[in-house]
Every structure is written in C-alpha cells, then in structure tokens.
Amino acid sequence: MSTQTCEQVMEEKKVSPRTSSNVEPSTRSIFTRQTGQALISLGMLFKHVPPFNETIERSTGETLISIGRKLSK
C-alpha cells in the first residue's frame, strides 16, 4: 500500500513598509483633512468676523480651530 502526502507550498508574501511618499491617501484621510480645514475656517469666521464674534463666544472659535488643526495633520 502506498501513501501519498500532499503538501501545499505556501508562498511567502513580502510586504515592504509603506512610506508616506508612495501611499495614496484613503477616502477617510481625505475626508478627515477636509473636515479639519472646514473647522479651521469656521473657527476663524466665528473668531474674527463681526456679526459672528458678537453672538458666538470666542472660546467656541478657538475650540473649532484647535480641533481642525488636529484633524488636518
């Protein structure tokens, strides 16, 4: 009686570390960056434009700017 063994050869996939220069930005990262830019713009608007800065607290504009800067990185 003969015995046959089947061995599957597993190929090793070599994954090279991605650098920021050759990585395409994902939809999520683009959306996050654009949201950050929009928050910075709103914060500047609330902080510096007279109709808005009279009715909205200065800290609100500063908070929006700081959140926007964190998202834009």
Question: What is the reported pLDDT for 3?
Answer: 61
Question: What is the reported pLDDT for 48?
Answer: 93
Single pTM value for the model? 0.64
Cα–Cα distance, 41 to 49 (Å, whole number):
11
Q: Taking residues 54-66, what's their average pLDDT?
A: 94
Please check whether residue 66 is in contact with residue 58, taking contact to mean a CB–CB distance below 8 angstroms: no
Which residue type, as a one-letter code, is found at position 18? R
Please provide the average confidence, as pLDDT, over all residues in the chain: 82
Which residue type, as a one-letter code, is found at position 11? E
Tens of pLDDT, residues 23-41: 678 999 999 999 999 999 9
